[in-house]
Amino acid sequence: MKNLILIGFMGAGKTTIGKLFSKEKGRKFVDTDERIVREQGKSIPELFDERGEGYFRDLETELLKKMLMDTKGAVISVGGGMPVRKENRELLRMLGCVIYLSATKETILSRVRGDGSRPMLNGEDLEARVIRLLQEREILYKKAAHVEVRTDGRSVYQVMQVVDQETRKWL
């Protein structure tokens, strides 16, 4: 059974959809950020502060390589920046069916405002940061994905239904 990989911007619904979808389908759920935190014994903000973004991105790449060997039939939620690296996009597509959960900046802002656990949103004006990162990443998400599913204005269950329909031919 192939893996189903959820990619997209912070707040797009990857973890929420992933957990519920895996439960409904009787599949294992894997959150790559949680796995990195567990393996490193440090939070993502700590890893960014102590070692920098490059180190964290290296951890993501190494994790994908491991997952090619040890993860089958799972629903996988990945960090929002993981598909930025070309190598990671290739590894993700090898790992399974990649679904890009997309959302507008307004939807994302409403979901991430006040969430201090996202180091990529620290610093400048939140809206400006989201706009800039979305512009940088959207094309890369589309390159990595087999399927795109919009989450704006849809309930979690509506998104799950679309994901299920769109992925049947891939799984």
Residue extents of the structural domains in the chain? 3-163
Q: Helix crossing, 44-51 with 53-70: angle to 10°?
A: 130
Q: What is the mean pLDDT of residues 158-168?
A: 91
Q: What is the mean pLDDT of residues 60-88?
A: 96
Q: Which of residues 58 and 115 earns the better pLDDT score?
A: 58
Determine the pLDDT at residue 169: 79
CB 117 within 8 A of CB 139: no
Which residue, 84, 41, 79, is CA-closest to 63?
Answer: 79
Architecture of the 3-163 domain: 3-Layer(aba) Sandwich (3.40)
pLDDT for residue 58: 96
Model-level pTM? 0.90
Residue 124 has a pLDDT of 61
